[in-house]
Chains A and B, each alone.
Chain A
Amino acid sequence: MSALGMTKLTLKWALKKPVTRRYPAEPRRVIPQSRGLLTFNKAACVYCSVCRKKCPTGAIGVNRTQKKWAIDRLYCISCGYCVEACPKHCLALSTRHGAPAVTKDRDVY
């Protein structure tokens, strides 16, 4: 039973530099396997709509006749189901996260 355990801990961490990141001055540490923003390669897309069917939240919209692909950024949960399902591999999850938004925008490509 002692108070020394906490004293030792406090002194040790008082002498080190702070654990918290000075964000945004210090950039975010990127972990390569992180699931972030969905990126779309329009050149490879054939508008088969498999990604729209697989998306659990209904964030993706595909218009075959007009050749348009759209995503509701705030509905996307970065699960990666569409990435696995796409036969042409034109979808990928990047490591950076989406920017904060004040309106529910739809990105149309």
Chain B
Amino acid sequence: MSDAQTYEPLAPDALLARVRELCDQGWRLVQLGATPLGELVEVNYSFDRDGRFLNLRLTLAAAAARVPSITPVYWCAFAYENEMHDLFRVRVEGIAVDYKGKFYKTTVPFPFGARGLAAAAATLATAKPVAAPTTPPAGPAA
């Protein structure tokens, strides 16, 4: 089952216009996802119509990731954009319903983003190590 999946690279400035075009053509918003790749962050916007799957891809620098919000066109995107911000530290400007970081409650802020990885690693380093079962303790065999 290989359905038609296309990935369209796009610049952040062209995003809103292209999304408006897709909405007028009747595409359904499927998801917004962020992929952290070290120095870069890829943001995918996925749409579906009649079984065809279209992705718009933005590639941004992780340290200064900023995208405009698509909530003026698809209001439902606010959930995905809040999640992208809370987990990946991708700043989205102009979200219609902005929970300002309170949407996803996690102990470590931005756990999947670049700085979040370092913070999570620091938390792990100070935690008590759990003994991994590798060899059984020497004792009387059952």
Given B135, B141, B142, which contacts A61 in the complex, CB threshold below 8 Å? B135
Chain A residue nearest to B134 (CB atoms) is A61
Bound complex: CA A104 to CA B136 (Å): 14
* List of B residues within 8 angstroms of A62 by Cβ: 135-136
Question: Secondary structure at chain B's binding surface: helix, strand, loop or mixed?
Answer: loop
Query: Is B133's CB within 8 Å of the partner chain A?
Result: yes
Question: Secondary structure at chain A's binding surface: helix, strand, loop or mixed?
Answer: strand
Q: Is the CB of B133 within 8 A of A59?
A: yes
* List of B residues within 8 angstroms of A66 by Cβ: 136, 138
Q: Is the CB of B133 within 8 A of A61?
A: yes
Q: Would you give the 0/1 interface string for A33-63, flagging 1 where the beta carbon is closer than 8 Å to chain B?
A: 0000000000000000000100000111111
Query: Is A84's CB within 8 Å of the partner chain B?
Result: no
Residues of A in contact, count (CB < 8 Å): 17
Are A70 and B132 CB-contacts (below 8 A) given A107-B142, A108-B141, A109-B141?
A: no
Query: Is A75's CB within 8 Å of the partner chain B?
Result: yes
* List of B residues within 8 angstroms of A97 by Cβ: none
Bound complex: CA A108 to CA B141 (Å): 6
* List of B residues within 8 angstroms of A70 by Cβ: 133, 136
Q: Is the CB of B135 within 8 A of A63?
A: yes
User: In A91-109, which residues have CB < 8 Å from any B CB?
Assistant: 106-109
Query: A81: shortest Cβ distance to chain B, in Å?
Result: 16
Query: Is B137's CB within 8 Å of the partner chain A?
Result: yes
Given A58, A68, A75, which contacts B136 in the complex, CB threshold below 8 Å? A68
Q: Is the CB of A68 within 8 A of B141?
A: yes
Chain A residue nearest to B132 (CB atoms) is A58
Bound complex: CA A59 to CA B134 (Å): 9
Query: B113: shortest Cβ distance to chain A, in Å?
Result: 28
Q: Which chain B residues have a beta carbon within 8 Å of chain A's beta carbons?
A: 132-139, 141-142
Closest 3 CB pairs of A and B: A70-B136, A61-B133, A68-B136
Can you pick out 18 interface pairs between chain A and chain B where the beta carbons lie within 8 Å of each other? A58-B132, A58-B133, A60-B133, A61-B136, A66-B136, A66-B138, A68-B136, A68-B138, A68-B141, A69-B136, A70-B133, A75-B133, A106-B133, A106-B136, A107-B142, A108-B137, A108-B141, A109-B142
